[in-house]
Amino acid sequence: MIRGDLTNLRAIDRGDDNLLFAWLNDPAVMAGWGVPDQTLSRTEIQRRMERYLEEERSLGRPAALIIETLDGEPVGLVILSQYATPAASTEVSILIGDPSRWGQGLGSDALGAVLDACFDAWNLHRVWLRAEADNTRAGRLYARLGFTHEGTLRDATYRDGEYVDVLVYGLLRGNLNPADADIHLPGTYH
């Protein structure tokens, strides 16, 4: 379990398939990941979950985490992917699955706790993520946390009839900046 101030994060389990099915097929939610028209079958969701569980077994750390409120309500998902062993690097993707919960600081808190676990518990050197160029809220949060804009993938996604750039951000161990992020990073992993 990874603990934040507003959220707890737990490893995904097979019982989460209904949550993932709803979240990963919601156009409003998936627009944040650049795939608003995505439709995934239950079979595909179950395949992905099995892949996450296998990665967890092989890596000794979760590949996917459910974000819960402190009351235990599931509200989101974090995926740790593209793990590179020699570089000790991983990509982080995060979503809050219920749009009515957006803007409450849950994603910021969960991301801070996950970053703390990445660097302190899992001994990673680098964490990176992507965001669409017009997602200014995400960009501001990433900058406050210490992420560096490393590059732009021009016209990398297509949304609402237009191509959209995707920005790549990276954070190295030692560059995490919790003091300026308006979040506390107490994350502990058991």
If one counts the domains in the chain, the total is 1
Domain membership flag for residue 185: no
**CATH, residue 40:** 3.40.630.30
Domain membership flag for residue 106: yes
Structure letter (DSSP) for residue 160 = T
The span from the first CA to the last CA of the chain, in angstroms, equals: 5
Domain membership flag for residue 119: yes
Residue by residue, pLDDT tens for the chain (190 residues) are 899 999 999 999 999 999 999 999 888 888 777 676 778 999 999 999 999 999 999 988 899 999 999 999 999 999 998 777 778 999 999 999 988 999 899 999 999 999 999 999 999 999 999 999 988 888 988 998 899 999 999 999 888 889 999 999 999 998 877 554 444 444 434 3
With 0-12 / 13-18 / 19 or more C-beta atoms within 10 angstroms meaning exposed / middle / buried, residue 41 is exposed
Is the separation of the CB atoms in 49 and 63 below 8 Å?
Answer: no
Residue closest to 34 by CA, chosen among 130, 144, 148, 177: 130
The pair phi, psi for residue 141, each rounded to 5°, is -60, -45
Distance CA 160, CA 163 (A): 8
pTM: 0.87
Domain membership flag for residue 165: no
Structure letter (DSSP) for residue 141 = H
Domain of residue 26, residue span: 2-127
